[in-house]
Structure 1
């Protein structure tokens, strides 16, 4: 008998403010067409003044708990993936814990930028299988609008704010790749590529949050190669191939990266969940957001084989293969 970490509930939250591409035409040398053709993004959401990452995370957590038919008393721990925490410390996870009324269990944050949710999900799986918890909330939440350089048209038009969450519980499996739950994962990083995507500030350097900096073209080339490789590795670990996958739910960074990765894997775009047009790049929140939308719209159903992959600053990248 094999224990599997299975998804018991999912939910998401998006801030009220919708920012269409046309809004950037007022302040930048850009157009709606330029943004759409290069990224696939049509609109994104920005958090309201005073609305924090933990605020978004709490709303997504409550939606996931409601979807699962559970309460905070049923949760043993919270893992939040974010690169835009409310404060240097304490963790966003402990803030979510407080707002949910949890006085038991544990909470901590994971920081792997856009790959953060993959890293958080893999950590949650390991904790559950090791017997450290029976049920966990895993959340991706970001307010990237707070670290944008609004004069840099190559970056500020790409990102948005939001949060997604899922509840992971335990279920007995057979050990076969037909089991429900997380079947495999693959994590990677390479610090030599740091300058491709980073924020030019921090506690021990400038003492300020800093702004996001990106080398778009080199990052694009690395992304397609590394995302394809990690996806194939996760599949090979359990004796599956791309043709077995029902849905790819990728990090929603850029439609061209999503299309390029699907093409290299030999999968049609009608088997890919795409939300980048509505949300922009929400970093660690993008995969749980896309998963939640996929379930909400009736695409992802129980028993479907779902592959998620992401790459972010570090560079850090990875994938998780699960049966819904």
Structure 2
């Protein structure tokens, strides 16, 4: 069995300009409180806003908490980032070679225009073989690899290296082609969740999607044909935090009592690429 021993999120109502590895320090210190950092076997960080091109943000984080025995690497997966980090951490624990792996996500939005609706956020979860009240039952993810031009950062990679003209035109910032993609996101995400849960005979009591506006939550509920009371929507007036969004919502739902004891919860996301992911937990 694989468990989440502790999960802590941090949402900022601003763009702090803090490095991603600094932004997630507070949640990480909270989830490993009372634990020797040398007992951390691995750190997996989901982010598209890492401190440097290299070394990884997870490596920077490991150094800051003295996790000298941990393997460290970053992953990029947009809104599904935190769930993807959970999936990898789950696999490491399930292999029985490792006992404690940190799955974290941290986004610091220096890579977007100040007028864009993004706010800094981070989340950390300690994934362990030690029994806890949050058991990870099932994780799934998939990618179809189409329509990447709808939401991406045009400049800064091998296809289009940095240029003075590109920076003037803000091509090093996040580009979103059309807000209608969020409507499509809600439809595809709901269909994916419905089909995956049905295929695996999983009944859900509570849904936590990685959304940040009322319209997306409403569309998700309608497309899934479930009562909106079964969907955590307290972030519907927030700005996006990309990969940290779902994890922060999960942490908030645990803290404010929205997730009841003896319930089955699904955390789900849909991101650029397109990527889709969900994680199912039993909370006792």
Q: What TM-score, normalized to structure 2?
A: 0.88
Structure 1 counterpart SS, 2:209? coil
Q: Distance in 1 between matches of 2:21 and 2:191?
A: 33
- From 88, 91, 98, give the equivalent of 2:53: 88
Q: Deviations over 1:82-115 (max 9, x none)?
A: 0110101111111111111111121111101111
Partner of residue 108, structure 1: 73
Change (3 A) 1:97 1:211: same
- 8 Å contact kept, 1:250–1:273: yes
Partner of residue 166, structure 2: none
- From 5, 14, 18, give the equivalent of 2:2: 5
Matches within 5 A, 1:239-318: 239-240=201-202, 244-277=203-236, 279-318=238-277
Which of the two has greater helix per residue? 1
Structure 2 counterpart SS, 1:125? helix
Partner of residue 19, structure 1: none
- 8 Å contact kept, 2:79–2:246: no
- Displacement of 1:217 in angstroms is 4.0
Q: Deviations over 1:282-320 (max 9, x none)?
A: 011111111111111122244321111111121212111
Q: Deviations over 1:203-248 (max 9, x none)?
A: 32223781111133441232122211221244234312xxx32221
Structure 2 counterpart SS, 1:45? coil
Change (3 A) 1:264 1:171: farther
Q: Distance in 1 between matches of 2:200 and 2:270?
A: 22
Q: Deviations over 1:14-43 (max 9, x none)?
A: 34xxxxxxxxxxxxxxxxxxxxxxxxxxxx
- 8 Å contact kept, 1:113–1:284: yes
Q: Distance in 2 between matches of 1:227 and 1:94?
A: 32
- From 93, 99, 111, give the equivalent of 1:147: 111
- After TM superposition, the runs of 4+ consecutive aligned structure 1 residues lying more than 4 A away are none
Structure 2 counterpart SS, 1:249? strand
Q: Is 1:52 equivalent to 2:19 in the alignment? A: yes
Task: After superposing the two structures, state which structure 1 stretch, 311-320 or 85-94, moved more.
Answer: 311-320
Gaps of 5+ in 1: 16-43, 174-178
Q: Distance in 1 between matches of 2:35 and 2:197?
A: 31
Q: What TM-score, normalized to structure 1?
A: 0.78
- How well do the aligned residues superpose, as a CA RMSD in angstroms? 2.3
Partner of residue 61, structure 1: 28
Q: Is 1:133 equivalent to 2:98 in the alignment? A: yes
Q: Deviations over 1:116-170 (max 9, x none)?
A: 11111111111211224211111111012x12234xx6xx0x2111101111112
Gaps of 5+ in 2: 164-170
Change (3 A) 1:211 1:160: same
Change (3 A) 1:301 1:106: farther
Q: Alignment length, in residue pairs?
A: 275
- 8 Å contact kept, 1:57–1:163: yes
